[in-house]
C-alpha cells in the first residue's frame, strides 16, 4: 500500500484561514449558529466548490459537499466550537477531508456537521443527518442562555431548507479525523491513534437530604449529616470504579455542593455530579449494578435520604472493524503505526457509526489540552494525520 500524497502547506493554510473566522486569542469562538459559525460554514461550502464538490448548506446548518458519481466515502467533522475553544477541534477533520477530496480527485463526500458541541444538543447535525432528530424534538431545543433553536436558525438564512441526509446506498463508510483531546498519544510512542469505539457515559446526580444542626452543640450520634454522606459516597464511588472498572474505564466527581455551606452548620443537603465512561456495554452494565448499590447503605448509616437521578445514560459505539483496519494500514503506509484506543469524548462518528461503517483517526493534542485556546498539535502531526486519512480513504473508496 502506498501513501497518498497530499499538499501539506495547503492543508495548514486552510486551517489558518478557517481559524481567522471567529478568532479569539490563539483559539476560536464559533458557537453554533453565531455569525462566525455561519461565516465558517459558508467558507467551507466555498472550499468544497473549489475542490470540485457540489456543496449544500441544509436546514439545520449541515454542509455537505458531494463528489461526482453514485458512491463515495463520507469524510468530515464540524466547524462549530465551544465558547472560546481551540482552532482544531472539528476544523481539522473538515479541512483534512477537503484535502483528501482534492488529493484523490473523486469518491469523497465532505461533510461539516452542525452544532456538534451541543449549544442546543450534542451532535445535533449528525443526528439530523442520520434521521435521529425528530422535528418535534428539534422544535423544543433551547440553549443554556434561553434562546430557542428556531430563533437561532432564523438568523442564519437557512431555516426551512430541506435536510441533507445520510444515504447508505451512496455512502460506503464515514471517516473522521479529530484531535485526541487527551494526553495519551503525546506520551508516545505512536503519533496517531485509531479509535476502537466511542465510550458510553453514565452521569448521575446524587442528592442526600438530612438536617441542618449546630455543629458544636449537636452530638455526632444525633446528626443527620448530608455532607458526611456525600463525602463517603464520593470516595466509595471512586474506589468502586477503580476496583470494578477495566483498564480504560474513567470516572469523575466533577461537582459537589453542600448547603447551607457554613463551617459551623451540619449540611442539610448535599449534591454530587458523578460520571463514568467505558467502551464496553457489558462493563458499563456491571458498573451500573455496583454503583446502584452505593448510596442506600451510606444514606442509612447517616440517617439521611438519598436520591439518584440519571443525567446521561448512553452506551458506547464500536467503530467498524474494516474501517479501523483501513485507517491502520493508512497510518502504517505513512510510516506511523497507529495506537488503537477508545475515544473518551463523543463525536459525530458515534452517530453516523450506528448507520454505516465508520472509523476515526486521532492526532495528538499537545499537553492533552482542548476546549481552550491552549489546544494545539504540531504542524507535522497535522499533515501526517491528514495524509494517513487520505490514504485510508483511497482504500475505502468505491472502485
Percent helix / strand / coil, the chain, rounded to 5: 35, 25, 40
CA distances from 232 to 1, 172, 202, 289 (A): 56, 50, 20, 18
Residues contributing to the site for a second copy (CB under 8 A): 180-184, 187, 199, 201, 203, 213-220, 222, 225, 227-228, 230-232, 234-235, 238, 242, 248, 250-258, 261-267, 273-275, 277, 311-312, 343-346, 368, 370-371
- Closer to a second copy by Cβ: residue 43 or 233: 233
- Closer to a second copy by Cβ: residue 59 or 344: 344
- Closer to a second copy by Cβ: residue 56 or 236: 236
Q: Residue 237 CB, nearest distance to a second copy (Å)? A: 8
Compute the CA torsion angle 237, 242, 245, 247 (nearest 10 deg): 150
Q: Residue 36 CB, nearest distance to a second copy (Å)? A: 24
Give one DSSP letter per residue of 108-160, joined into a string. EEEEEES-TB-SSSBTHHHHHHTT-S-HHHHHH-B-TTS-BHHHHHHTTT-TT
- Closer to a second copy by Cβ: residue 357 or 359: 359
- Closer to a second copy by Cβ: residue 93 or 182: 182
Q: Residue 270 CB, nearest distance to a second copy (Å)? A: 8
Q: Any alpha helices (H) in the chain, and if so which ranges? A: 8-19, 35-50, 91-104, 124-129, 135-140, 149-154, 226-244, 281-292, 295-302, 321-333, 348-352, 379-396
The Cα–Cα gap between 8 and 383 comes to: 5
- Closer to a second copy by Cβ: residue 136 or 221: 221
- Closer to a second copy by Cβ: residue 162 or 263: 263
Q: Residue 199 CB, nearest distance to a second copy (Å)? A: 7
- Closer to a second copy by Cβ: residue 161 or 252: 252
The Cα–Cα gap between 184 and 367 comes to: 9
- Closer to a second copy by Cβ: residue 265 or 366: 265
Q: Residue 228 CB, nearest distance to a second copy (Å)? A: 6
Three-state DSSP at 210 gives coil
Q: Residue 282 CB, nearest distance to a second copy (Å)? A: 19
Angle at which helices 379-396 and 8-19 cross, to 10°: 110
Q: Residue 58 CB, nearest distance to a second copy (Å)? A: 29
Q: Residue 238 CB, nearest distance to a second copy (Å)? A: 6
- Closer to a second copy by Cβ: residue 1 or 222: 222
From the list 18, 276, 63, the residue with the least C-alpha distance to 164 is 63
Cis amide leading into 193 (omega within 30): no
Cell readout for 330 is: 493508512
Q: Residue 123 CB, nearest distance to a second copy (Å)? A: 14
Q: Residue 195 CB, nearest distance to a second copy (Å)? A: 11
Residue 371, C-beta contacts closer than 8 angstroms, at least 6 positions apart: 82, 85, 86, 89, 181
From the list 366, 387, 364, 347, the residue with the least C-alpha distance to 176 is 347
Q: Residue 168 CB, nearest distance to a second copy (Å)? A: 29
312 and 205 in contact (C-beta within 8 Å)? no
In angstroms and rounded to an integer, the radius of gyration of the C-alpha atoms of the chain is 23
Q: Specify the residue for cell string 477531508.
A: 97
Q: How many CB atoms lie within 10 A of CB 271?
A: 18
- Closer to a second copy by Cβ: residue 163 or 256: 256
Amino acid at each position: 500500500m502506498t501513501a497518498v500524497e497530499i499538499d501539506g502547506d495547503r492543508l495548514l493554510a486552510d486551517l489558518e484561514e478557517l481559524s481567522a473566522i471567529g478568532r479569539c486569542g490563539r483559539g476560536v469562538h464559533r458557537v453554533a449558529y453565531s455569525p462566525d459559525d455561519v461565516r465558517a460554514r459558508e467558507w467551507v461550502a466555498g472550499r468544497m466548490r473549489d475542490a470540485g464538490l457540489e456543496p449544500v448548506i441544509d436546514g439545520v446548518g449541515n454542509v455537505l459537499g458531494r463528489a461526482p458519481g453514485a458512491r463515495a466515502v463520507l469524510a468530515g467533522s464540524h466547524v462549530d466550537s465551544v465558547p472560546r475553544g481551540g482552532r482544531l477541534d472539528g476544523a481539522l477533520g473538515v479541512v483534512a477531508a477537503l484535502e483528501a477530496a482534492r488529493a484523490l480527485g473523486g469518491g469523497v463526500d465532505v461533510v461539516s456537521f452542525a452544532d456538534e458541541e451541543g449549544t442546543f444538543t450534542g451532535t445535533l447535525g449528525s443526528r439530523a443527518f442520520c434521521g435521529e432528530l425528530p422535528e418535534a424534538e428539534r422544535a423544543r431545543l433551547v440553549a443554556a442562555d434561553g434562546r430557542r433553536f428556531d430563533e437561532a436558525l432564523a438568523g442564519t438564512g437557512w431555516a426551512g431548507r430541506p435536510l441533507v441526509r445520510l444515504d447508505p446506498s451512496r455512502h460506503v463508510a464515514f471517516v473522521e479525523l479529530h484531535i485526541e483531546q487527551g494526553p495519551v498519544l503525546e506520551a508516545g510512542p505512536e503519533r496517531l491513534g485509531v479509535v476502537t469505539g466511542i465510550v458510553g457515559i453514565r452521569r448521575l446526580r446524587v442528592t442526600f437530604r438530612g438536617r441542618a444542626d449546630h455543629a458544636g452543640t449537636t452530638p455526632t450520634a444525633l446528626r443527620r449529616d448530608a455532607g458526611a454522606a456525600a463525602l463517603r459516597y464520593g470516595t466509595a464511588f471512586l474506589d468502586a470504579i477503580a476496583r470494578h472498572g477495566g483498564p480504560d474505564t474513567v470516572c469523575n466527581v466533577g461537582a459537589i455542593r453542600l448547603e447551607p455551606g457554613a463551617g459551623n452548620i451540619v449540611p442539610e443537603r448535599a449534591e454530587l455530579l458523578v460520571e463514568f465512561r467505558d467502551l464496553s456495554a457489558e462493563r458499563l452494565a456491571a458498573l451500573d449494578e455496583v454503583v446502584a448499590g452505593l448510596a442506600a447503605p451510606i444514606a442509612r448509616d447517616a440517617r439521611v435520604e438519598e436520591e439518584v437521578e440519571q443525567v446521561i445514560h448512553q452506551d458506547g459505539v464500536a467503530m467498524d472493524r474494516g474501517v479501523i483496519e483501513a485507517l491502520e494500514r493508512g497510518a502504517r503506509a505513512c510510516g506511523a503505526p497507529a495506537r488503537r484506543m477508545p475515544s473518551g469524548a463523543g463525536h459525530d462518528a458515534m452517530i453516523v457509526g450506528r448507520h454505516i461503517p465508520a472509523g476515526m483517526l486521532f492526532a495528538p493534542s499537545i499537553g492533552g489540552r482542548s476546549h481552550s485556546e491552549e489546544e494545539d498539535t504540531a504542524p507535522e502531526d497535522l499533515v501526517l494525520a491528514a495524509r494517513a486519512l487520505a490514504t485510508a480513504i483511497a482504500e475505502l473508496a468505491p472502485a
